[in-house]
Amino acid sequence: MSLLERLFGRPKLMIEALGPRHAARVSVLHATSFAYGWDQPEVARMLSDPSILSDGVFSGQSRQPCGFVMSRLAADEAEILTICIDPAHRGRGLGHLLLERHLAQLVRRGVATLFLEVEDNNAPALALYGAFRFAKVGERPGYYPKPDGTRALALILRRDLG
């Protein structure tokens, strides 16, 4: 904890890099957002992987994120693996703030092109990605498993960062 944090407390919102110590919380957040979540050991491996960039958004005094974004880097390209916001914190613009910071981090790392996949009927995510000028470049039929056993269409989106 910095001296400023000790004197004045944590700001209302902070965005900072995530590490393996956040694996349990990240696993829970992912499970609240997707039909099939990632288990804690898998998340811990991902958060330890130097090719993965992860940022979390923290609210108030909490030391655990209320949302996160994770991308895999490969040369001058990256893919957003997931972005999640705790249901209790949705609708407040946290996803926008988190993605804005994450894109800046990717640019600093030399990423020129960013890809992601999103379920075709995920209206909040599509609105977020639209606000950041992602463009549809393809589809993956039957990509996302649903709890009822069906599979949903994934849209492949791209954004040039350079």
Is 144 an annotated catalytic residue? no
> For this structure, is 117 an active site residue?
yes
Residue for token digits 């979540």?
A: 37
| Of 128, 134, 125, residue with least CA distance to 159 | 134
Catalytic residue, candidates 5, 77, 100, 129: 129
C-beta separation of 25 from 65 below 8 A: yes
* Catalytic residue (choose from 77, 79, 117, 119): 117
Look at residues 147, 143, 69 and name the one whose alpha carbon lies nearest to residue 106: 69
**Inter-residue contact 64 to 22 (CB < 8 Å):** yes
Element (H, E) at 124: helix 123-131
Q: Which active-site residues does the annotation give? A: 117, 129
